[in-house]
Amino acid sequence: MGAQPHRGRPDEGRADALFGIEEIDTGREAHVPADAGPLFRDSPAARRLLAVREIRAEPAAAASPRGRRIIARFPDAEIVPVDSHWGIPDLHGNAGNVDRWVRIKSEVLVLGEKKTLTTRPNGRSADWIAPGPANGCAMACAYCYVPRRKGYANPITVFTNIERIIAHLSRHVARLGPKTEANQCDPTAWVYDIGENSDCSVDALISDNVADLVRAFARWPSAKASFATKFVNPDLLLLDPRGRTRVRFSVMPPEDSKLLDIRTSPVESRIAAAGDFLEAGYEVHFNLSPVVLRPGWDTDWALLLRHMDDVLPASVKGQAAAEVIMLTHNHDLHDLNLGWHPRAEDVLWRPDLQQPKRSQNGSWNVRYRGGVKGEAVETMRTLVATHAPWLRIRYAF
């Protein structure tokens, strides 16, 4: 049996970290070569994705060095003070925002400080879920679980106290020590998911939080950062991850993506970027997710896997692995989607195939029934073995 994350709390107390807070350089924006040229985050394409007109900011976050730099990136935005990044009445839980679902994601940014720093055991995609540098997203995937926690609007919240997050992780990594037994997450490194509630590729358009995390993990020989993404941000190629950050490109049949992955990079672009990211020093994996069951789904997945086999270089295939994740939906999100993107619910909401399950936070999720899900997982395993035999499946559920 593979190594399991310790269930203790390695972050408690003031144990020796791998390097001190004074060594964490968060005062310097853009850890990129001086001759790198214009950054993608300053391009018209990036500005279309994030056309920020309003910044809701906790006073301490706005006054911090990271907060001031973020505000300077959007000089025309109105700054609106808020007591807490979490409970903003006219954003969170306001049903009237449904018809502005995508506009809010583009035009509103929230700045806050992450008050509670907790690293939770995972054991599937990663050994640990790290306290992330942001929450929310500028993209609008119709199946995303993150909005369920915030009601009717889910713009990006950037946490400006990145130095505390990195110091917390440094202590956690130091207390764990070397990984002595391989598991499905990684054979030698403790893997930390740094983007559970956001997309780090999009977050990197706003600040250097992700760059700081990539830089930190590059110096920790026993740990590895990991994040899933549906957005190709070429600025990340200018960093120096030294093999200590795993990028998991999420892919699905283009027909599904065009309907469900709103404001994301095309699936073909995500696949095409894999070689560049590997060459830049990242480990590159794939998330085959979510698998949405609808007529012809297996045929379209076969086509996608054959496309990956045709275009990916041997170097990517030689180190790639995948996660297969079946769709989980949510009753409240179903009702919300009916207000802004009802066509998505034609494939996401399938009472004939799904069964309800109460989540840990008390809301009702729906998942494919056991027999249906089991057959679909086996079909996906067969499709991968047939059309992309080089793609090792780390786990499927």
pLDDT in tens, 216-229: 999 999 999 999 99
Query: Average pLDDT of 117-133?
Result: 96
Residue type, 3: A
Of 133, 136, 129, nearest to 152 (Cα)? 136
> CA–CA separation, 24 vs 113, rounded Å?
17
pLDDT in tens, 22-38: 444 444 455 566 666 79
> CA–CA separation, 66 vs 275, rounded Å?
32
Question: 225 - beta bridge partners?
Answer: 192, 245
Q: How does the average pLDDT of the chain come out, rounded? A: 91
Share of the chain above pLDDT 70, in %: 89
| Site of tokens 């996660």 | 323
> What number of CA atoms fall less than 13 Å from residue 337's CA on the CB side?
27
According to the model, what pLDDT value does residue 323 have?
Answer: 98
> What number of CA atoms fall less than 13 Å from residue 159's CA on the CB side?
26
Residue type, 378: E
> What number of CA atoms fall less than 13 Å from residue 199's CA on the CB side?
25
Buried b (16+ CB within 10 A) or exposed e, 144-162: bbbbbebbbbbbbbbbbbb
pLDDT in tens, 291-326: 999 999 999 999 999 999 999 999 999 999 999 999
Under the banding of pLDDT at 50, 70 and 90, the label for residue 93 is confident
According to the model, what pLDDT value does residue 6 have?
Answer: 46
Question: 251 - beta bridge partners?
Answer: 288
According to the model, what pLDDT value does residue 11 have?
Answer: 41
Residue pair 366/329 in contact (Cβ under 8 Å)? The answer is yes
According to the model, what pLDDT value does residue 28 have?
Answer: 47
Under the banding of pLDDT at 50, 70 and 90, the label for residue 18 is low
Under the banding of pLDDT at 50, 70 and 90, the label for residue 149 is low
